[in-house]
Chain A
């Protein structure tokens, strides 16, 4: 269907629009994935610190 990689990337003259749309979606999903993974790591690390120091955990948790 496409006449080589250049033709594919040109998207029939709509490259800026098509790749601008797909690129932003990819960026958005990637960023969301990174942020959620980081939040998960942070929460788990905080809880593991707390369970090691039960007294401190009680003060911090309130």
Chain B
């Protein structure tokens, strides 16, 4: 019952998290699809061709969202890594591990779409400038996190080492973000988050924002699904996980599981070395 007085700790219990995700995700898929369809329609049928780049600029509608998602997911990964290191909350490690593959995919896609955009506009698929190089490092950080986590037989140890890597690697995110201002770059500067307002047509901006929303929601849904599978797998021997796998997790089972977690291992007092 301690969970009642501190509501935000409620979802540190995998059983509560599982149920929340189970309710949330069925709404996220159609929401993401709706945003994507609207964004693609705006991007391909309403937004006019660019006066310099013609129709090649339409890659922007997937390049910017994937690049932002990569950075955002990395910050989340580092934040969950820090929570796991400090408070030993198992659910934080599950979330971090669920985020990493999607973050790696988004970063890869931003590099891929960027290369295909650079080829016709810059005349090259790749250049070792600050933004591209730091984004490549971001991809390696995601992959490194996953490899390090999987390398150790002891999941607790692997999780701690990987979390540390995630936290240290977080310095790379501001480097990516500000690289276009700090160094001479082939990559163009900021065009959406400007103090004098976005530097593009309204229909282009609307398409871009819809696509960004679609990628946000998609990433949320897929990460929650992966975290659910991971939570079930780790809790395989518990009553709630077996009931959930069979699709009949009751409220009583869930609350019993949550009390078990909060009763045995108060998340805020479980420091110390093992």
Which residues of A does B touch, CB under 8 Å?
Answer: 1-2, 8, 11-14, 17-18, 20-22, 24-25, 28-29, 32-33, 36-37, 39-40, 43-48, 50-51, 57-58, 61
Contact = CB atoms under 8 A, between A and B. Distances in A.
B26 to A, nearest CB: 14
Nearest to A38: B229
A25 B62 contact: yes
Interface in B203-251: 218, 222, 225-226, 228-229, 232-233, 236-237, 241-242, 244-246
B241 A47 contact: yes
B120 interface: yes
Interface of B: 44-46, 48-49, 54-56, 58-59, 62-63, 66, 101-102, 105, 108-109, 112-113, 116-117, 119-120, 218, 222, 225-226, 228-229, 232-233, 236-237, 241-242, 244-246
A2 B43 CA distance: 13
A12 B225 contact: no
**Which 9 residue pairs of A and B lie closest in terms of their CB atoms, listed nearest first?**
A47-B245, A12-B55, A51-B242, A14-B56, A21-B113, A12-B54, A44-B245, A21-B116, A61-B237
B55 A58 contact: no
Contact of B109 (A17, A25, A39): A25
Contacts of B229: 36, 39-40, 43
A1 B119 CA distance: 25
B225 to A, nearest CB: 5
A28 to B, nearest CB: 5
Given A36-B226, A61-B237, A47 B55 contact: no
A9 to B, nearest CB: 11
A2 B45 CA distance: 8
A58 B49 CA distance: 62
Contacts of A22: 59, 62
Please report whether the interface of chain B is mostly helix, strand, loop or mixed according to DSSP.
helix
Contacts of B226: 36, 39
A47 B66 CA distance: 35
A20 B116 contact: yes
Contacts of B62: 21-22, 25
B58 A18 contact: yes
Given A39-B226, A43-B233, A17 B120 contact: yes
Contacts of B116: 17-18, 20-21
A11 to B, nearest CB: 4
A47 B228 contact: no
A1 B228 contact: no
Contact of A21 (B112, B218, B228): B112
7 contacts: A1-B45, A14-B54, A21-B59, A21-B113, A36-B225, A43-B229, A58-B237
A29 to B, nearest CB: 7
Nearest to A19: B116
